[in-house]
Structure 1
Amino acid sequence: MTEGFRYLSRQDVIALGGTLAQAALDDVCDVVTLMRHHDAEMPAETHVSLTGQRGKAYALPARVGGRFNVAGVKWTAHRPDAQDNLPQAMALTLVSRADNGLPLGLVESGALTATRTAAVSALALRHAAPRTVQRVLLLGAGVQAMAHLDMLRQLFGNLLEVSWWDRRQRSLPVDSASLPWPLVNVENFQEALSRDIDAVITCTSAAEPLLEAEAMHPGRLVIQVGYHEVSFAAIRCASRVVVDLWGDFCETSAKSLFQMYRAGEFSRERVDADLGNLLLDGWRPAAGDSVYFSSFGLNVFDIALASRVLRLAAERDTGTLLPFFPESPHAPE
């Protein structure tokens, strides 16, 4: 009989350290190295449309070797027209061992997805910013914005200031007194962009660009996490363009950069660096560069993070353990 198949809820994931920024960053760095050595892969996604609405459900497979030794698939339902007050994106990750295929577990992945996305932004802040990041402007107040705020709290305690803006003027559910730096709400982000901001992180669901060419200041890093927040003109004004990865998703993704590519206004050769170049090759921008970083979101990281929390769950005997291959009543003694 196998050990069993483990289900981890969102609460389980958080209790097991799934939202710890440094652990997620370590996972991301290890996976980037494994990808460079062809010990990790991320085939093209596939999707189906959801009935009666504009939504789609995506299957995103990946395999990761090394200390992870897993293969898995992330299943994400995007529900833009759902009227149930639940998240617009709902994700589960199924993980098996890579060496023998035995199923390990199923993990609720909303928190993991937000955490690994913020970890990639941390990597960009450390390695793709033209100058030392001291002041950050965060756009948005949803799940991704909160994950980025928490990442900044955990990994960038020496910042001078974090400003944030939300188009619906929602309040961030956070005690500003618990943060290591001032958190300043701005009503007009365009005015905030004219200040001495070192990095802008966009975490909105905007379908039309928010940032135009004037957002690309020398010495500034713009990290696009959300949908279509950065105009083609702004990307064109960036002196350096960095991506987490350039892959087949450029043909279908709604991210600003890939829309620009399909419109014939951006060439793959214009990309200056990806995560591998940042981590393994030492690529850095010049102090006077304006850098645009497009974060597509790589599901290979989701598989790695899910495997880590599943391993911890097995060690601590937490989560919900289900028998997967029960012993046959006719099995020989």
Structure 2
Amino acid sequence: MSPPRLYAAEATAAALPYPALADAIAALLRDPTVKVPARTVLPLPAGGTFFAMPATDARVAITKLISFVADNATRGLPAIQGDVVVFDARDGRRLALLDGPTVTARRTAAVSLLAARTLAPRTDGPLLIVGAGVQGRAHLEAFASGLGVRQVRVASRSAASAEALVAHARRLGLDARRVDDADAALADCPLVVSATPAQAASLHALPRDDAFIAAVGAFTPTMLEWAPDVCRHVAARGALAVDTRDADHEAGDLLQAGLDVPTVPTLADWLARPRPAGPVFFKNCGWAGWDLAAARLVAAGLIGTQA
């Protein structure tokens, strides 16, 4: 029996191209064999959080084991660390070990890409990215490769981080520049991704009527990126969407706006509905099913190759 395949960060990224990963996520949402129990969340003694996130379908079983330590930048370490362990669900063989932060970044951006494909009134941009960290970079790459976006505007509390992401966008052949006022930039950008630390509302202006917003940074009920008035405005004039029903108790932006989140359609619901009219606010909180979709994409080339 062959040992499990080990994928470092670069190899994990190469195995998960954004358009193919978005397709894999859509396929997973239509698969009745997928089972995703509630994740286990444990506080760490120094203030971080440890997550254990299992999922399975008829062919593949996974567990993502990651830690999240918000202030790790002060230590010269990434905020998210860990791995995704991939098994053959039929015979229990370990197939692969994937880099956890890379899977998290790419599957989160691919979920937003699928949501934009499904819900966005227009997908040509310009794209405004608020927050120039790991998720800002992943979403830039995903929307460029999956939607063909060519114009990007980047806003960040750190000018250096914004300029670094602008430079990366230009290396990809995009027309990119830094903006200092994200609220003002909303008037020019029908595509918006917010990927901030989400400790307080960063965006207060109303979006365009043809806007698609992917709100990524807030993944607990106490976090938010968007002012409550903005969320209520979009709910009244357009449409809301959440990634899964787990958002019912995690979608801080919507919960703090006083909205009835359990009645908000999920991405799976919207895949079976016509594209809505007006602005769209998509809340992307995270789910182990997205990690399973990534593992399925990798495992497709491994199952049957190990004896």
TM-score (norm 2): 0.87
CA contact (8 A) 2:88 2:303 kept: no
In structure 1, what is the Cα distance between the partners aligned to 2:169 and 2:128? 15
Q: Which amino acid is 2:108 matched to?
A: T
**Counterpart for residue 47 of structure 1:** 41
Distance 1:129 1:268, change over 3 A: same
**Counterpart for residue 293 of structure 1:** 282
Q: Which amino acid is 1:301 matched to?
A: W
**Counterpart for residue 32 of structure 1:** 29
Shift of 1:293: 0.6
Q: Establish whether residue 216 from structure 1 lines up as the match of residue 207 from structure 2.
A: yes
- Cα distance per residue 1:231-252 (max 9 Å; x no partner): 22211111311111113x533x
Q: Establish whether residue 156 from structure 1 lines up as the match of residue 147 from structure 2.
A: yes
**Counterpart for residue 253 of structure 2:** 256
Q: Which runs of 5+ in 2 are unaligned?
A: 219-223
Q: Which amino acid is 2:155 matched to?
A: W
Superposition pairs for residues 129-168 of structure 1, below 5 Å?
129-157=120-148, 159=149, 161-168=151-158
- Cα distance per residue 1:61-112 (max 9 Å; x no partner): 11133xxx11111111011243421111113111212223232232212112
Q: Which amino acid is 1:202 matched to?
A: S
CA contact (8 A) 2:240 2:282 kept: yes
Q: Which runs of 5+ in 1 are unaligned?
A: 318-333
The structure with more radius of gyration: 1
Distance 1:160 1:12, change over 3 A: closer
Percent of aligned positions that are identical = 27
Say which SS state the counterpart of residue 30 (structure 2) adopts: helix
Say which SS state the counterpart of residue 230 (structure 1) adopts: coil
Q: Establish whether residue 76 from structure 1 lines up as the match of residue 73 from structure 2.
A: no
CA contact (8 A) 1:277 1:283 kept: no
Say which SS state the counterpart of residue 114 (structure 1) adopts: helix
Q: Which amino acid is 2:39 matched to?
A: E
- Number of residue-to-residue matches in the alignment: 295
Q: Establish whether residue 275 from structure 1 lines up as the match of residue 273 from structure 2.
A: no
Q: Which amino acid is 1:123 matched to?
A: L
CA contact (8 A) 1:64 1:300 kept: no
Superposition pairs for residues 161-240 of structure 1, below 5 Å?
161-169=151-159, 170=161, 171-173=163-165, 174-193=167-186, 195-212=187-204, 214-227=205-218, 228-238=224-234, 239-240=238-239
In structure 2, what is the Cα distance between the partners aligned to 1:237 and 1:270? 17
Shift of 1:294: 0.2
In structure 2, what is the Cα distance between the partners aligned to 1:258 and 1:21? 29
TM-score (norm 1): 0.80
Q: Establish whether residue 112 from structure 1 lines up as the match of residue 103 from structure 2.
A: yes
Say which SS state the counterpart of residue 104 (structure 1) adopts: strand
CA contact (8 A) 1:216 1:237 kept: no
In structure 2, what is the Cα distance between the partners aligned to 1:237 and 1:254? 17
CA contact (8 A) 1:6 1:104 kept: yes
**Counterpart for residue 259 of structure 2:** 266
Q: Establish whether residue 244 from structure 1 lines up as the match of residue 234 from structure 2.
A: no
CA contact (8 A) 2:251 2:285 kept: no
Q: CA RMSD in A?
A: 2.4
Which contiguous aligned blocks of 4+ residues in structure 1 show a shift greater than 6 angstroms?
Answer: 313-317
Q: Which amino acid is 2:164 matched to?
A: L
Greater helix fraction, Structure 1 or Structure 2: 2
